[in-house]
Amino acid sequence: MTAAFTFPGQGSQALGMGKALAEAFPAARAVFDEVDAALGEKLTSIIWDGPAETLQLTENAQPALMAVSLATLRVLETEAGFSVAKDAAFVAGHSLGEYSALAAAGGLSISDTARLLRTRGLAMQKAVPVGVGAMAALLGLEYETAVAVANEAAQGQVCEAANDNGAGQVVVSGDKAAVERALEIARTKGAKRAMLLPVSAPFHCRLMQPAADAMAEALAGVTIKWPVSPLVSNVLAAPISDPDEIRRRLIEQVTGTVRWRESVAYMASHGVVRFFEIGAGKVLSGLVKRIADGAIGISVGGPGDIAAAKDAIAAVHSG
């Protein structure tokens, strides 16, 4: 198998995502209905009708992106013959996308995943008062240099590498003043661009510890099964399948670095050529091509993408 199924994280959300799929395919509609039922509210009406600022709230964006990913996957299964167990050498997701990946591989039920992501979004938002923390993208610096920038900027506060996205894209996270210092230091170290990100909280740094504690409690109360394909963990950049380890790594992930560059490199080094990005947006497909030589990123998010995905999975089988 030379394919991996990957699932997008926060920032890929867009008003109306998944609507065309739900209108065209009952399998997609059923996923959205299941998520609405699990949350006890019509999240779908926020996803499709807005307002946009309500969808952007972390507590809504996280389960919404998962719903679109799983709805897309169900259509790929029913219309294009996709099978996670047969076709995916690995599953992986960027931050919240790790939960989507687990649900896709049967490690979590869709209902539990929706509730966990609602809890995660609320806990991450509550962990740090608005305006106290910040995140910034440092473009054009290698990961090790970005870590050195963060360490220099901390000065007794928190400033840590949150996302190593590859292709010279590293995001730092922490106390606002420290992150602002990192912008200045990054420019002196040769960053092409360094800019604050429009996020509501400093994700993936140790300021998120209260959210990690909340997720430890929430994850203790759900059943995690062995996924049908191994999950390449954000915090390890290596595959895991044991339910107890998955639970532990999901808790660590709240405060830990999303090691996306290394995760993609790991999968590519183990024979993966085609990376299917399942759900909203095309962020991961763009990154894949820049991280792994010869890798193909295939984004599938709407009815118009299904035929091309079917051809691409056929190429996996024939190759």
Catalytic positions, written as ranges: 95, 204
First and final C-alpha spacing in the chain? 9
Matching residue, tokens 């949150």 = 162
CB atoms closer than 10 angstroms to residue 206: 14
Pairing of strands 169-175, 159-166: antiparallel
Where helices occur in the chain by DSSP H, the ranges are 19-24, 26-39, 43-49, 52-56, 58-80, 84-87, 97-104, 110-127, 143-154, 176-188, 209-220, 243-255, 260-269, 283-291, 306-318
Question: Which amino acid, residue 265?
Answer: A
CA distance 214 to 183: 31
Q: What is the DSSP string of 273-293?
A: -EEEEESS-SHHHHHHHHHST
Q: 218 CB contacts (<8 Å, ≥6 apart)?
A: 115, 116, 119, 120
Cβ atoms 316, 1 nearer than 8 A: yes
Evaluated on CA atoms 115, 117, 119, 121, the torsion sign reads negative
Evaluated on CA atoms 11, 255, 176, 116, the torsion sign reads positive
CB atoms closer than 10 angstroms to residue 299: 25
CA distance 93 to 210: 23
* C-alpha closest to that of 275 among 102, 93, 19: 93
CA distance 2 to 90: 9
